[in-house]
Amino acid sequence: MKKNIVKLFFTLLVAVCLTFASVSIAYAEPSPSSPLRPEVPEITEVVVKNSDGTTVAIDMDTDITVKSVSEAEDTPGEATSTALVAAKNALNQVLGEENHTTQKASQDNLSKALSNLEIDGNKYRPKDYDADAVFEVTVSDAIKQILSQGGTITIDFDYSNSKLPIVIHQNEETQEWIFVAENKVTKKGDGISVEFDSLCPVAFLQLSADAQPIRDITPLIIIIVIAVIIIAILLIIFLKKRKEKDSEDETVNEEEEKPAENEVVEDNEEEETPAEEPEDAPVEEPAEEAEEETPAEEEPKEEEKPAETVIIPTFRYEDDEEDIPIPEDVNPEDLIEEELDEFLSIEYNESYVAKLVLLSDELKESYNAIANLINSYKVSDRISWKYEKFTKNRNVFAKLEVRGKAICLYLAVDAEKYADIKKYQLKQGKKGFSVIKVRSPRKTKYALALLEDLLNEIGAVKKKNFKEVDFFEPYKSDTEKTLISKELIKIKVEKTNTENHRAHQVKMFKSTSVYNIHKHMSSKDALNLVGKSNRSVDETNFGIVYTDSLCEAFDGDEVITLDLIKEKVPEVDQTMTAYKLKPRGRMTKALTIDCDAFTLGAAKMVALTGGKLLSPSDKESEE
C-alpha cells in the first residue's frame, strides 16, 4: 500500500509540474519591438462646442497646437514637452518596447486600464498593444475654459489604418490614463473623428497582429488545486493509518486465549492484536561486543544503570497560557503582526533513557519488572543512545527499545518455537531475533515468561541476595526540560524558509502582539527554547520588566542584563536585584535577554521574533 501511494503521489506531482510548465509556455510574453517613436497624424478639422451643444468659432492657427514626440524631445523643460515625454516613457515601459522606471504611477495605471479593457468580449495583455500615434494637444485658455465647463472638442484626423484605434489620453496631474468611449471614435471619410472632453498627451493604440486573447485558466487552476488536495488527503490517510498501526494496543482474541481458572482478566483491558516487528529495529551483531564483554571463563561483571546525576532544578516561570482578552480601548497598533518568510524549526532527538523517563507510569512498571528479572541473573547490561542490550558470554540474548508508546523486547529465539502459544504474539525479526511489544500489564506477564524460558535455555545463573530496584528513582523529578539540560534529549533549533514535517515548526514574525502569542507556539517548545544562564540570583528585591520596554530601549546587538536595563529603561525600579520578564504590547525586535524569571508568554514573544531567552536555574522553584 505504501509503495502504491508513493507512486501515485509522484505521478500526480509530475503531472502538476508538467501542467504548470505548459501553462508558462502557452502564455509566454512576445518579444519586445523597437522603441516607440510614432509621429502625429494630420489634423483636418476641429470643432469646439459649449456644454449646451452650440458650436464655438476657433482659429486653427492660434487656438490649437499639436506637438509630436520628436518636437518634445527637442524642447526639454517646457511643461507640455515634459508631460509628453513622460507619457511616451510610460507607454514604452508597459508595451514592452523600452525600459523606463521613472513613471511608475503612470505605468501602473496604464497596465491596470489595459488589462481591464475588453475588445469584442476578449481581454489582452498590455504588451499585446502597439502605439500608432503619441502626441500632445494644447488649446488656448478660452477653449480650456469651455472644456472645464462641460464642453467638448472634436478633432478629425487623417488616419490611414482601416481599423479604428483605441484612443487614450493622460491626466498630467493624477497620472491617470483615460479611455475615450468607443461611440466617440468614429470613421469619417478617409480618417477618423474623436470627441474629447479633456486634453493631455494623446495616444492611438492598435492590437498587435499576433495578439492572442487571454484564456481563462480558472478551470485549470481548479483542477490543479483539486489534484493537490487529493494528494494531501491520500498522504494524510496513509500516515494516519501507519501511525495507528504502530501505536494501537495489541489485543488477544478471546476465542484463541482462555484465561486460567485463577487468572483474573480485567474487563476494560483491550484485546491485543499482533503487530509486526519494525523493519528498522536495530539489532547488534554478537561479534561486535567481543572487546567490550567479560570473557566467558570469568563471571560477567554486571553493568550498572547510568550513574545517578544531580537533578537540575526547573526554571522559575509563570504559566500564563490563557490568551489575554483584548480590551475595548486597545490601540489598534498593538494588534498588528508582521509574518516573516521563515520558520523556527525545532527537532527533538530523544535518547533511550529519555524515552523511558517520559513513558506512562504503567509502562515504567513494566520496564522495572523486565529489567529486574534480567538483572537478577549474572548477565551484562549496556545502555546506548537508542537501546539497551543484555549479553551473556559475549552473546546478545535480549534487547530493549522504546517505540512510540510501546517497549519492544527483542529475544534471540525462533518465533516458531512459540507458534502454538498465540497469546505471546511473538514475531520473527532480523538476525535470529524475535520481538514482543509490551503495551499492557498482560503483555508484560507474557514477556517475563518468555524471558524466563530464554534465561534458563542459555544457562544463566541467578544472583544471590538480589534486591529489586526502581530504575526511575534518579529521574523522578525530571521533565522534558531537565532531560534536555542533562543532554539526554538533544534539541536542534534553526531558522529556515522551507517546511520540515519531521520537526516542530512555528512561523516567525517581524513583530507579534501580546494578544496572539499563544496561538503561534506551544508552551512546551517555548520552555525548551529557554537557554541556561550560569549565574547566581539575588532575590532581595524581585521586580517586573515588560517586553515592549526592552524593544524601545535596545536594538538587539547585546545580551540584555539587569544592569543594562537599569541604565537604559528609565521607568524600572533602580533598587531591583532580580526581575521577571512579562509580555506587553508588541515585540518588534529579535533580542537576547538574560532574565531571572519569566512567563511563558514572554518566552513565546522572544522566540517568535527570533530572539533568545536565558535564565539561571532556581533551586527554590518547583513550578
pLDDT digits (tens, 9 = 90+) for 549-563: 999 999 888 999 999
3-state secondary structure of 202: strand
Rounded Cα gap, residues 502 and 460, in angstroms: 42
Q: Please tell me whether residues 542 and 460 are part of one structural domain.
A: no
Q: Please tell me whether residues 362 and 231 are part of one structural domain.
A: no
- pLDDT tens digit sequence for 376-397: 999 999 999 999 999 999 899 9
Q: Which residue has the higher pLDDT, 563 or 30?
A: 563
Question: Does any domain span residue 328?
Answer: no
Question: Does any domain span residue 432?
Answer: yes
- pLDDT tens digit sequence for 11-24: 666 666 665 555 55
Rounded Cα gap, residues 446 and 95, in angstroms: 81
b/e code 398-407 from CB counts within 10 Å (16+ = b): bbbbbbeebb
Question: Does any domain span residue 93?
Answer: yes
Grid-cell match 524475535, residue found: 434
The pLDDT of residue 84 is above 80: no
At residue 150, what is the residue type?
G
The per-residue pLDDT for 573 is 92
Q: How confident is the model at residue 264 (pLDDT cuts 50, 70, 90)?
A: very low
Q: Count of CB atoms within 10 A of residue 588's CB?
A: 17
| Cβ-proximal residues to 216 (8 Å cutoff; 6+ apart), any chain | none
Q: Please tell me whether residues 88 and 194 are part of one structural domain.
A: yes
- Number of alpha carbons in the 13 Å side-chain half-sphere of residue 91: 30
Question: Does any domain span residue 320?
Answer: no
Q: Please tell me whether residues 126 and 188 are part of one structural domain.
A: yes
Q: Please tell me whether residues 73 and 195 are part of one structural domain.
A: yes
The 3-state secondary structure of 564-593 reads HHHHHCCCCCCCCCEEEEECCCEECCCCEE
Residue 380's nearest CA partner among 394, 367, 369, 368 is 394
DSSP 217: -
User: Going along 453-532, which residue ranges are E strands?
Assistant: 489-496, 504-513, 531-532
Arithmetic mean of pLDDT over the chain: 78
On whether the CB atoms of residues 546 and 583 are closer than 8 A, the answer is yes
The pLDDT of residue 258 is above 60: no
Phi first, then psi: give them for residue 209, nearest 5 degrees.
Answer: -65, -30
What CATH number is attached to the domain comprising 595?
A: 3.100.10
The per-residue pLDDT for 335 is 76
- pLDDT tens digit sequence for 86-142: 777 777 777 765 555 566 777 777 877 787 788 777 888 887 888 878 888 888 888
The 3-state secondary structure of 253-322 reads CCCCCCCCCCCCCCCCCCCCCCCCCCCCCCCCCHHHHCCCCCCCCCCCCCCCCCCCCCCCCCCCEECCCC
Domain edge (last residue) among 429, 447, 474: 474
Element (H, E) at 550: helix 547-553
Question: Which pTM value belongs to this model?
Answer: 0.46
Residue 477's nearest CA partner among 313, 308, 307 is 313
- DSSP bridge pairs for 389: 382, 399
H helix intervals, 63-183: 69-74, 79-94, 104-116, 141-148
Question: What would the grid cell of residue 446 be?
Answer: 507474557
Q: Please tell me whether residues 597 and 493 are part of one structural domain.
A: yes
Grid-cell match 509502562, residue found: 363
Q: Please tell me whether residues 83 and 114 are part of one structural domain.
A: yes
Q: Please tell me whether residues 60 and 177 are part of one structural domain.
A: yes
Domain edge (last residue) among 474, 497, 526: 474
Element (H, E) at 549: helix 547-553
- pLDDT tens digit sequence for 517-551: 888 888 888 888 998 888 888 989 999 999 999 99
3-state secondary structure of 1: coil
Residue 431's nearest CA partner among 447, 413, 407 is 413
- pLDDT tens digit sequence for 476-497: 888 888 898 889 999 888 888 8
At residue 339, what is the residue type?
E
What CATH number is attached to the domain comprising 433?
A: 3.90.1150
Q: How confident is the model at residue 33 (pLDDT cuts 50, 70, 90)?
A: very low
The pLDDT of residue 617 is above 90: no
The pLDDT of residue 581 is above 70: yes
DSSP 377: B
Question: Does any domain span residue 113?
Answer: yes
The pLDDT of residue 34 is above 80: no
Q: Which residue has the higher pLDDT, 326 or 303?
A: 326
The pLDDT of residue 324 is above 70: no
Report the chain's terminal Cα–Cα distance, integer Å.
Answer: 47
The per-residue pLDDT for 552 is 92
Question: What would the grid cell of residue 612 be?
Answer: 533568545
| Count of domains forming the chain | 4
- pLDDT tens digit sequence for 186-229: 888 878 888 888 777 888 888 777 778 877 677 778 888 888 88
Q: Please tell me whether residues 94 and 159 are part of one structural domain.
A: yes
Question: Does any domain span residue 340?
Answer: no
Strands 395-403 and 388-392, how do they pair?
antiparallel
Residue 398's nearest CA partner among 254, 318, 286 is 286
Rounded Cα gap, residues 319 and 598, in angstroms: 9
The per-residue pLDDT for 429 is 78
What is the C-alpha R_g of the chain?
40
Q: Please tell me whether residues 203 and 231 are part of one structural domain.
A: no
b/e code 53-84 from CB counts within 10 Å (16+ = b): eeeeebeeeebbebbbbebbeeeeeeebbebb
The per-residue pLDDT for 311 is 37
Residue 269 CA to chain centroid, in angstroms? 41
The per-residue pLDDT for 199 is 78
Domain edge (last residue) among 452, 474, 496: 474
Domain that holds residue 119: 42-207
Question: Does any domain span residue 467?
Answer: yes
Rounded Cα gap, residues 344 and 507, in angstroms: 6
Q: Please tell me whether residues 124 and 186 are part of one structural domain.
A: yes
Span of 35-49, 312-326, 576-590, 606-620 with lowest mean pLDDT: 312-326
Q: How confident is the model at residue 591 (pLDDT cuts 50, 70, 90)?
A: very high
Residue 378's nearest CA partner among 457, 298, 448, 433 is 298
Residue 530's nearest CA partner among 579, 563, 481 is 481
DSSP string, 405-460: TEEEEEESS-GGGGTT-GGG--EE-STT-EEEEE-SHHHHHHHHHHHHHHHHHTT-
Q: Please tell me whether residues 72 and 111 are part of one structural domain.
A: yes
On whether the CB atoms of residues 9 and 231 are closer than 8 A, the answer is yes
Question: Does any domain span residue 622?
Answer: no
- pLDDT tens digit sequence for 394-413: 899 999 999 988 999 999 99
Element (H, E) at 232: helix 218-247
